Amino acid sequence: EVRTRAGLPSFSAEGLTLLDIMSERAYELVFENKMLWDQRRTRKALVDGSGQFTSIENFVGHQPVNFNFEFSNKHLLSPVSGTELDNNRKCTQNFEWLPLQKGE
């Protein structure tokens, strides 16, 4: 019903691919600030290791958008909070989020 109202074709679960599922998710959550997190979680945001966030138009099939967002390997993982590190001594900080040492 919602897809019909939005002018989108209906489809069944038969023959669905991951791209179909992620595209549907993008349509359903378009204004709920989920795209960046999905791109980050599925590692679709990195193109050729350049760190330039450019895959949004390829991901949902829309025209390219004009903005730059620097997205590096560091941003694929979130830092572990200081509270978690203090409460669990076996827990370590994600490597990219470790503080730089003098001379680095």
pLDDT at 71: 66
Q: How far apart are CA 26 and CA 41, in angstroms?
A: 14
pLDDT below 70 — which residues of the chain? 11, 43-71, 100-104
To the nearest whole number, what is the mean pLDDT of the chain?
A: 71
pLDDT score at 56:
47
Give the tens place of pLDDT for each residue, 38-63: 777 776 654 544 444 444 444 555 55
End-to-end CA gap in the chain: 57
Q: Name the pTM for this structure.
A: 0.39
Taking a C-beta distance cutoff of 8 angstroms, is the pair 50, 72 a contact?
no
